């Protein structure tokens, strides 16, 4: 199972940005999908997550201005962030929990390589 994240970049405060993550591989089913971020000098934190049934969860810092969505047919998860602030600057990582067939459908966590989002004027 491999994850490819993309969509980061340099934006100004108040702008919107969408980061996306595509999951590829064979013989797995995706359960949990989420986006995390790590700012310089800070711990990694959950930004938003979405279950296989579509239930979403957001960090308080972003919940009123972000939307997480998933496309199960394409094995992708997107995070739309609006009204970006300087404190949103971080490397954003996608994480999935996949049920892997060759491990007896055991749940395994996989992480993407991260995409940098910089919010600055």
Look at residue 121 in the predicted model and tell me its pLDDT.
94
What pLDDT digit, counting tens, does each position of 91-102 carry?
999 999 999 898
Task: Name the CA radius of gyration of the chain, rounded.
Answer: 14
What pLDDT digit, counting tens, does each position of 18-35 carry?
999 999 988 889 999 999
Residues 100 and 107: their CA atoms lie apart, in Å, by: 7
Contact present, 99 and 109 (Cβ < 8 Å): no
What pLDDT digit, counting tens, does each position of 63-117 carry?
999 999 999 999 999 999 999 999 999 999 999 999 989 889 899 999 999 999 9
């Amino acid at each position: 199972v491999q994850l490819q994240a993309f969509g980061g970049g340099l934006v100004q405060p108040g702008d919107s940005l969408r980061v996306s993550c595509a999951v590829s591989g064979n013989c797995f089913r995706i359960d949990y999908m989420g986006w995390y971020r790590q700012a310089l000098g800070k711990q990694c934190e959950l930004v938003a997550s979405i279950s296989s049934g579509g239930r979403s969860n957001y960090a308080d810092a972003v919940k009123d201005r972000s939307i997480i969505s998933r496309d199960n047919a394409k094995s992708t998860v997107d995070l739309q962030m609006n009204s970006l602030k300087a404190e949103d600057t971080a490397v954003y990582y996608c994480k999935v929990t996949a049920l892997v067939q060759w491990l007896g459908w055991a749940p395994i966590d996989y992480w993407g390589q991260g995409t940098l989002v910089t919010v600055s004027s």
